[in-house]
């Protein structure tokens, strides 16, 4: 910290009035907001990898000369472990899209416009950013090559495929991996590959204009990779229609810089969807099957469903790899799990018998009650502070369940999280990495599911759950939001959420496009 302050003093001429440590972003770098006596702020970064720091500084400086929307480097320490950059604020694209994610991928026009703005600027950093760029500065390697592709494919094989117990011929699979690696690299690889292009790595200014950060892992490579990373991110839940629209926006922007064969682009895009999905499953397998992280275990089913959809839509040119993936998505465990995933629903009920692919399965959703004729079940979920009392039930049914979250680890004890809530990514990551809240919610889910299913069968119309903690800010908010989303996804019922102490209310709408087998 002392060296960072000295670097700021060299830049500003005076010592800072205040220094605030910012929440971590899952890397080995620490971020600080440094506030001058004049009120001007900059971001100070401390990183343990001098090579990675140097790569970011060099790339940011190069991109700035090209007029690209990236932070400006203001100063670098002599040992290369610290640097200063312009402050781009607190709002990431991921934060700005929170409401759409909470609604199961139903994005407002304003949110979609932010996505359009962002993806329309991606070609700038890919094409303009590559102009006159010495790719030798990239870390840990200057370009995406066959070795790195095969590394990711084998990560999928060893950390996911083998862990499922599925039998396969490794020699035949390796043969198709070699072909896939060659095809992925058999195109225009002269552009800048961002590699980690996602909503968390895009900051928005006060007018909603995107700025790009965390591109230090970039290198020379194919531009399709970044499009897939952005649009096929599982947590984003983008619909097929929205993806198609955003791809067209991207292509229109790309054509300002280079000629594009649309058919060829879409064909190659499918290859990268396949590759990226296997990458993701490899990561989920390692973090889930081996490290036993519940969040990653829960993420496996939607990723397998993405693979199932791809196999139905795309004639994969690798016969043995295709047969292995078909067997994978039709494993009973994954067929059963995806019955409870409604954010990737396919409205078709056909079956491709030649390949044995199940196109869709009936999902669970509430329907109008035949018992009381009053309507469908609506669940209300509250978060609250015990200091201010348990929420009152205005339905006359007695208040339902009240769960005490105070036995779990409290992020509010730590300075970086005190001003955040359980809806924000740093707090979510803290709670899920710690794991206590996940164990707590496992029992809550079982109890809630049994009650919801019974109420649906009996035709009841109201059920209430409340989660309390010390301040009604972190643990209770996280728990209430996750139960609400879980019930909405699994049963399609309307869930009304009230984070009382935060003054936040929202409704997760009923899904009328599904059928019931309750």
Residue scoring higher pLDDT (308 or 518): 308
Distance between terminal CA atoms of the chain? Answer: 58
Q: Please give the pLDDT value at position 357.
A: 42
Ordered by start, the domain boundaries in the chain are: 2-87, 90-142+189-260, 145-187+273-361, 378-508
Q: Please give the pLDDT value at position 25.
A: 55
pLDDT surpassing 80 at residue 512: no
Coil, strand or helix at 466: strand
For residue 204, the cross-strand partners are: 210
Q: Please give the pLDDT value at position 273.
A: 94
Q: Are 96 and 114 in contact (CB under 8 A)?
A: yes
The full length of the chain comes to 518
pLDDT surpassing 80 at residue 447: yes
Residue 41 confidence class, pLDDT cut points 50, 70, 90: very high
Rounded mean pLDDT of 323-346? Answer: 70
Query: Which single residue is written with the structure tokens 């909470």?
Result: 102
pTM over 0.75: no
**Beta carbons within 8 Å of 342's beta carbon, 6+ residues apart:** 104, 363, 364, 365, 489, 490, 492, 511, 514
Q: What percent of the chain has a predicted confidence (pLDDT) above 70? A: 89
Helix, strand, coil abundance in the chain, percent, nearest 5? 50, 15, 35
CATH superfamily of 2-87: Phosphorylase Kinase; domain 1 (3.30.200.20)
Query: Which single residue is written with the structure tokens 């996804």?
Result: 489
Coil, strand or helix at 462: strand
User: What's phi and psi for 402, nearest 5 deg?
Assistant: -130, 120
Q: What is the pLDDT of residues 92-118, one digit of tens each?
A: 999 999 989 888 788 999 999 999 999
Q: Please give the pLDDT value at position 400.
A: 86
**Beta carbons within 8 Å of 126's beta carbon, 6+ residues apart:** 191, 192, 193, 194, 223, 226, 254
Residue 354 confidence class, pLDDT cut points 50, 70, 90: very low
Task: Please give the helix or strand (H or E) that residue 333 lies within, else none.
Answer: helix 332-338
Work out the burial of residue 407: count CB atoms within 10 Å of its CB; fewer than 13 is exposed, 13-18 middle, 19 or more buried.
exposed
CA distance 472 to 450: 26
pLDDT surpassing 90 at residue 181: yes
Q: What is the pLDDT of residues 386-402, one digit of tens each?
A: 999 999 887 766 668 99
Instruction: Give the pair of three-digit tokens for residue 270.
Output: 């499918």
Q: Please give the pLDDT value at position 150.
A: 96
Q: Please give the pLDDT value at position 237.
A: 80
Residue 516 confidence class, pLDDT cut points 50, 70, 90: very low
Q: Please give the pLDDT value at position 23.
A: 78
Instruction: Give the pair of three-digit tokens for residue 29.
Output: 């770098």
CA distance 177 to 181: 6
Q: Please give the pLDDT value at position 456.
A: 84
Rounded mean pLDDT of 436-444? Answer: 93
Q: What is the pLDDT of residues 470-495, one digit of tens each?
A: 999 999 999 999 999 999 999 899 99
Instruction: Give the pair of three-digit tokens for residue 114.
Output: 């932010």
Residue 347 confidence class, pLDDT cut points 50, 70, 90: very low
Residue 27 confidence class, pLDDT cut points 50, 70, 90: low
Q: Please give the pLDDT value at position 26.
A: 52
User: What's phi and psi for 135, nearest 5 deg?
Assistant: -70, -10
Angle at 67 between CA 62 and CA 68, to 5 degrees: 75
Q: What is the pLDDT of residues 289-334, one digit of tens each?
A: 888 877 788 788 878 888 998 998 888 999 999 999 999 999 988 8
Q: What is the pLDDT of residues 205-255, one digit of tens each?
A: 988 999 999 999 999 999 999 999 999 987 788 888 999 999 999 999 999
Task: Please give the helix or strand (H or E) that residue 358 lies within, else none.
Answer: strand 357-358
Work out the burial of residue 178: count CB atoms within 10 Å of its CB; fewer than 13 is exposed, 13-18 middle, 19 or more buried.
middle
CA distance 284 to 241: 26
pLDDT surpassing 60 at residue 518: no
CA distance 485 to 104: 8
CATH topology for 90-142+189-260?
Aminoglycoside 3'-phosphotransferase; Chain: A, domain 2 (3.90.1200)
pLDDT surpassing 70 at residue 146: yes
Q: What is the overall mean pLDDT for the chain?
A: 87
Q: Please give the pLDDT value at position 370.
A: 37
Q: What is the pLDDT of residues 17-26, one digit of tens each?
A: 999 988 765 5
pLDDT surpassing 70 at residue 355: no
């Amino acid at each position: 910290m002392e060296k960072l302050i000295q670097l700021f003093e060299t830049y500003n001429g005076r010592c800072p009035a205040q220094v605030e440590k910012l929440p971590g972003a899952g890397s080995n770098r620490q971020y600080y907001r440094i506030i001058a006596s004049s009120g001007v702020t900059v971001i100070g970064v401390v990183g343990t990898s001098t090579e990675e720091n140097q790569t970011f500084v060099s790339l940011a400086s190069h991109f700035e000369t090209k007029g690209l929307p990236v932070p400006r480097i203001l100063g670098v320490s002599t040992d290369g472990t610290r640097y200063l950059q312009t402050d781009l604020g607190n709002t990431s694209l991921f934060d700005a899209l929170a409401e759409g994610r909470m609604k199961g991928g139903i994005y407002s026009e304003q949110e979609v416009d932010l996505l359009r703005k962002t993806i329309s600027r991606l070609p700038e950093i890919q094409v303009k950013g590559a102009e006159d760029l010495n790719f030798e500065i990239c870390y840990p390697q200057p370009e995406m090559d066959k070795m790195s592709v095969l590394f990711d494919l084998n990560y999928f094989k060893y950390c996911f495929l083998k862990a499922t117990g599925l039998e396969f011929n490794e020699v035949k699979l390796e043969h198709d991996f070699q072909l896939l690696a060659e095809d992925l690299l058999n195109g225009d690889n002269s552009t800048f590959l961002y590699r980690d292009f996602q909503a968390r790595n895009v900051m928005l200014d006060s007018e909603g204009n995107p700025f790009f950060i965390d591109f230090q892992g970039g290198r020379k490579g194919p531009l399709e990779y970044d499009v897939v990373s952005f649009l096929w991110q599982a947590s984003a839940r983008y619909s097929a229609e929205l993806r198609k629209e955003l791809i067209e926006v991207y292509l229109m922007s790309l054509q300002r810089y280079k000629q594009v064969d649309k058919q060829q682009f879409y064909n190659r895009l499918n290859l990268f969807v396949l590759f990226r999905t296997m990458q993701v499953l490899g990561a989920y397998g390692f973090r889930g099957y081996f490290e036993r992280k519940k969040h990653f275990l829960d993420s496996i089913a939607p990723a397998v469903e993405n693979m199932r959809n791809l196999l139905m839509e795309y004639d994969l040119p690798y016969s043995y790899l295709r047969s292995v993936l078909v067997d994978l998505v039709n494993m009973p465990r994954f067929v059963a799990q995806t019955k409870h995933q409604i954010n990737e629903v396919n409205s078709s009920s056909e079956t491709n018998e030649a390949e044995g692919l199940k196109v869709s399965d009936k999902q669970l959703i509430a329907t109008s009650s035949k018992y009381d004729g009053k309507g469908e079940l609506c669940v209300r979920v509250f978060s609250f502070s015990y200091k201010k009392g348990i929420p009152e039930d205005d339905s006359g049914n007695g208040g339902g369940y009240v769960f005490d979250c105070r036995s779990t680890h409290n992020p509010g004890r730590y300075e970086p999280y005190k001003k955040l809530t359980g809806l924000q990514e740093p707090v979510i990551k803290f709670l899920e990495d710690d794991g206590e809240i996940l164990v707590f919610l496992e029992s809550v889910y079982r109890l809630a599911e049994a009650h919801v299913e019974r109420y649906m069968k009996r035709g009841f119309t109201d059920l209430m759950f409340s989660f309390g903690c010390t301040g009604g800010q972190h643990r209770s908010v996280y728990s209430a939001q996750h139960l609400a989303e879980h019930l909405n996804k699994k049963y399609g019922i309307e869930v009304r959420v009230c984070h009382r102490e935060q003054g936040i209310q929202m409704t997760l709408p009923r899904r009328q496009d599904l059928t019931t087998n309750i």
